[in-house]
Chains A and B, each alone.
Chain A
Amino acid sequence: MLTIVFRAVIIYAVVLCLYRLMGKRQLGEMQPFELVLTLIIADLATIPMAEVSVPVLHGIVPLLTLVVMHYFLTIFSKLSSKFSSFLSGKPVIVINPEGIDYKALKNLDISVDDVFEAIRGCGYFKIEQIQYAIMETNGKMSVLPKSSFAPVTVQDLNLQAEKSTIPITIISEGKINKDNLKNAKIDEMKVQEILKKAGVKKVKDVLLMTIDKAGTIYLQKFHEKYQTLQIKPLGQVQE
């Protein structure tokens, strides 16, 4: 059993490293060749893990081969759009201003119900609300609504909106994130000062503290309701 434990650890570490090497796409929306790769990797990894007579190398070597192959396929598909479309296919317009393109549906081998399901997933329940719907190469549907059904934006209303900023996490679960302190261009002294102002004695009492460029602080202690504070705009907070 101990052998299997160590084998599982080794295979896990190798597969983890390989996925890191292949990039984040493998974790989310995949192209067909990436999906194939993921399926094979899952299968290959389990064989030497459970079968003690099979050397771990018998699992690792094909994994490495696949990753090298994947790397070169990715490079070639970047270099040649023809190769890329051969490998991953092309996005296909399934709904155009004239309605559903039945020929495109037939080519994709999907039904009208599938199209409906996909557009509902994008938040639209009527075909007539849609100008274009495109089936992407990763199998997801992208929808462009007709302008009369598009969500209203601040620009449409001619309003002045404050610049959006991303809140930076300063304290998470009682621990100060020192990298984010640098990003927010504040120091621990300033954090202590803010906490004191909010009536918090120790950093470890804080569940979450974030700060944004406008100087708005979200502060929540463990098992307590959050509070917001306002300090001077930071100006130099990274967006």
Chain B
Amino acid sequence: MTKYGWIKLFSIFVLIGILVAVCVVEDRLVITSLDRVNRFCYEIESAVEKNGGIVNGEVASLVDNLEYQWEKDESSLCFMVNHKSIEQLAVEIVRLKTYIDEEEPIEFYVSLDIIKNYVETFQHFMGASFHNIL
């Protein structure tokens, strides 16, 4: 094989390496970020049940933490995932805060359910599976 052939072969293996790395990093990043959001949702739910309502310091603090964490994760996810497909989460998290301020528990639960449902279905729609490929 000529020198050019070796360089080309090397480049192809580098490209394959990049593709594998990107796929693995994306998968890990999405799973970790969404799992974290899911965990926060369950923590918020139990905090609401424990305190008997949405207007209390613990719930507000958990929602703030969720917002902070999601903003952090979202900036990394934007390298890998279409921004439009994850912007709904940020919108619902902001709504959670608004519903606490406005003392609207029903809407709060609706938003929380939307987030949970979104997290659960995201993998279903975006993960590598036979029906998604086709």
Binding site for B on A (CB under 8 A): 21, 52-55, 57-58, 61, 64-65, 67-68, 71
For the complex formed, measure the closest distance between the CB of A115 and the CB atoms of chain B, giving whole angstroms.
38
A68 touches B15 (CB 8 A): yes
**Measured between alpha carbons, how far is A54 from B81 in the docked complex, in Å?**
7
B22 touches A55 (CB 8 A): no
**Measured between alpha carbons, how far is A96 from B49 in the docked complex, in Å?**
88
B83 touches A53 (CB 8 A): yes
* Given known A64-B18, A67-B15, contact A21–B8 (CB-CB < 8 A): yes
Q: Closest chain A residue to B85 by CB distance?
A: A53
Asked whether any CB of chain A lies closer than 8 Å to the CB of B79, the reply is: yes
Q: Mark B17-28, 1 if CB is under 8 A from A, else 0.
A: 011001100000
Residues from chain A with Cβ under 8 Å of B18 in the complex: 64
A64 touches B78 (CB 8 A): no
Q: Closest chain B residue to A21 by CB distance?
A: B11
B22 touches A61 (CB 8 A): yes
Residues from chain B with Cβ under 8 Å of A52 in the complex: 83
Pick the 6 closest A-B CB pairs, nearest first. A53-B83, A53-B84, A71-B12, A64-B15, A68-B15, A54-B82
For the complex formed, measure the closest distance between the CB of A10 and the CB atoms of chain B, giving whole angstroms.
12
Which one of B12, B15, B16, B81 lies within 8 Å of A55 (CB-CB)?
B81
Which residues of chain B from 5 to 45 have any CB-CB distance to chain A below 8 Å in the complex? Answer: 8, 11-12, 15-16, 18-19, 22-23
